[in-house]
Amino acid sequence: MSEDKRLIQLALESRDKAYAPYSEFPVGAALLTEEGETYTGVNVENGVNDLSICAERVALFKAISEGERKFTKLAVVCEGEYCQPCGACRQTLFEHAPNLTVLMGNLKEEYRTVQLAELLPEAFQLE
């Protein structure tokens, strides 16, 4: 199985663990490090809506908190044609992985491959 398909499958498996009782829109993500480790994430919602967090950032924060710093690829899956990371996730990911490849997947294991830089042109960067 290709690395991309494996990442999409991991994202799909993790999606089952999403905590999304308010939106009923579960999302799963899988982030690949340069060393070949993977960290999964799901959206975790809260009754105080502003406190909810997306699957992509959960995967990233899990990895960062384990000491990981270099990332090559992220798969994200949800219902719909292809799962597009929100703006907050794009900016957060950009800080750590400006050259990240993003696999935007759906529930049929189809995906589109894009570069994070294409999703967030002229990203904010502290000088």
Catalytic residue set: 56
- Kind and range of the H or E element at 13? helix 3-15
d(CA 82, CA 109): 10
d(CA 25, CA 70): 29
Q: Which is nearer to ligand THU, 21 or 98 (CB)?
A: 21
Segment contacting ligand THU by CB under 6 A, of 2-10, 53-61, 97-105, 111-119: 53-61
Give, as one character, the DSSP assignment of residue 31: E
Segment contacting ligand THU by CB under 6 A, of 7-15, 21-29, 65-73, 108-116: 21-29
Q: Which is nearer to ligand THU, 23 or 113 (CB)?
A: 23
d(CA 75, CA 51): 23
Question: Which residues of this protein are in contact with ligand THU, per CB under 6 A?
Answer: 20, 23, 25, 27, 43, 45, 52, 54-56, 85-86, 89
